[in-house]
Structures are given as structure tokens and as C-alpha cells.
Structure 1
């Protein structure tokens, strides 16, 4: 027969009615992975031109990008591997998020980068909306996490992505950037 030892807290009044177990400190648990992240998009002059919301789903990362005040047309949108957006050219954001070491573009037989997304269409009023799920992606808490030690960024390019040219899709200059932060 096993006998379990249980620490008890007893006060004189409780001895008559019984004792209660001593409170135990919870075991340490690391914080849960981020289930949302966000970014404020700014142009080279520092003006706010949009935002992005990233939500962790079971099947991947849901990305919603909203822009305002951009010139009308089709623009490439990508997730970049470094969480820096130094104006004027945003080169500090590095290349596309590519944890699997693939080439660029959904139409490339060796593609695609995890950070490749469909083009963003900006209407005549300067507004655009892109909603996409990056299948298999993780915001954090994975070896393929977007938010690694040096962070990540959302990038909008001047032109459309051709979905095949490596490494950038021939998308033109970087016109808006936002550092992705948890929560």
C-alpha cells in the first residue's frame, strides 16, 4: 500500500473541522507562443500608410494587410526575414522569410519562399487589402518561426511580383515597411 504525504496547513480552529492542503507553487512553464502579431507600415518619409495583423491558425499564419495613401496599382507584398525598416530603401529588412531554403515564387518549380504572398491591389482611392494564409508558417515557437532572434518585417514593393523570378519576383523598389511585433 502506498501512502501519500500531503503538506497541510492547519490553524487551531481548523483542527476541529480538518486541515486544508498547503498551496503549491505552480511549476515553471515557458510563455505560450504568440498567437497574434502586428506591424505598422510606413513609407520612406515615415508616414503611416497601413498596418498588418498576423494570426496563428492551426494550419498556418493568417496575414491581413491594409494600406492607404499608396499610388494605385498592383504591388508585391512579402514577409522579410529581419525586423528592421531603415528608410529610405528598407534594405535593413533583408530578403524574404525563407526558412526552408527555397527559391522565389509560386510559379517557380523550386519555390516558394514562406514569405511570398499574392500581389496587393491598390485601388484608385489609394486603398488596398490583402488577406492570405501562409500554410505551415508559425509566428513563433517553432524552428520555422517568423519571429526569430532578429524579428521580421512586412514589405510592400513598388510593382507587382511576377511569382517566378528569384530572389524578389522582379517587384521593384521597397516603398513601405513595418516591423512585426508580438501581440
Structure 2
């Protein structure tokens, strides 16, 4: 009888341990799914370049395969300015040229997004600064990703540049947007 009691206790403990193990596994799976589905976000601080006072932040957030970019910039001259993603996150040079040219992984001509003749993946466009030099722009696209490893979409390791002038969307390869007045690296 004593042996039967010990056996029943052992079986009960094994069942409890298995249930706890199952619960633990379910928790791990749930946490992993939540982590995979959670939005990815990177905040980029923009630093003044080319003897300007232009600074700001750019926030990239990826949710369900779509990246939303919100840039908030101050210190600009009133009027329109171009903003682009460039090849490198290296903002070490005083003029911002250490970022290289526009990010163009699909070898398209410079242009405006949505135009059939093509555009660089980094050709974001123009935005307007008010009389106080403040500007913001928001862009949403499924043509970018954050850390996905796809060379034609991944913005990690690239730079974001605010230009002194306006992108004309036609001049090759830059849009004749003028000097680089602010720079930030898109890095984790």
C-alpha cells in the first residue's frame, strides 16, 4: 500500500510538472509572437551641417510591413527643403557628404515617388519650413523595412539628410537640392 501511495504521488507531481512546463512553453511562444509582431522603432537625431543651425529628429516605425517616417526639423530658412535617405549613416564630415549619394539600391533615375520613370528608394521629397524655421513631414511606405536584411528595402545603416534647397525631381542624380544642412544616421 505504501508503494502505491508513493507511485500516485510521483505521478501527480509529474503531471503538475508537465502542466507547468506546458504553461511555460506557452508563455515563451506568446512572448515571442508579441515580440515579432511589435512595432520596430528607431529615433534618429539630426545634427547641423554646413555651418547651419538645423537640427531635429526623425522617427521610423515599422508595423506589419509598413514603415512610417515622421521628421520634425527646426532652424531652417523659411520655404521648401528636400529630405533624402543617403547611402551611409556616416555623418562625420562638416558638410554631410560622408553619407554618400542618395540611397538607390534598385538603380533607378532620381525622381518623385510614384512617377513611372522611376525614383530612388531614398527620394523622400520636399517639405516646407514656416517663418520660424520649423517643418515636419510624414511618409508611410512598404518600400522600406527596419533591419529585415533585404538590401533593396532595409534602411538600417543609411543616413537621412535635410538639404538647403528644393528637390526639382528631375536633375540627375540629386534633384539639385543644394547643400546638406542636417544629418543623422539610421542606426540601432
Q: Which bin holds the TM-score, normalised by the shorter protein?
A: 0.7 to 0.9
* Correspondence for 1:141: 148
Alpha-carbon spacing, 1:164–1:181, altered in 2? closer, same or farther (3 Å):
same
Task: Determine the C-alpha separation between the residues in 2 that align with 1:43 and 1:12.
Answer: 75
Alpha-carbon spacing, 1:110–1:17, altered in 2? closer, same or farther (3 Å):
same
Q: What value does the CA root-mean-square deviation take over the aligned residues?
A: 3.0
The runs of 5 or more residues in structure 1 that have no matched partner are 1-10
Matched length: 167
1:17 to 12, 33, 47: 12
The runs of 5 or more residues in structure 2 that have no matched partner are 1-5
* Correspondence for 1:41: 46
TM-score normalized with structure 1 length: 0.78
Task: Determine the C-alpha separation between the residues in 2 that align with 1:137 and 1:130.
Answer: 16
* Correspondence for 1:118: 125
Based on CA coordinates, which of the two structures has the bigger radius of gyration? 2
Deviation at residue 59 of structure 1 after TM alignment: 5.1
Task: Determine the C-alpha separation between the residues in 2 that align with 1:94 and 1:173.
Answer: 13
Task: Determine the C-alpha separation between the residues in 2 that align with 1:14 and 1:104.
Answer: 74
TM-score normalized with structure 2 length: 0.76
Considering fraction of residues, name the structure with more helix.
Answer: 2
* Correspondence for 1:159: 165
1:179 to 170, 174, 185: 185
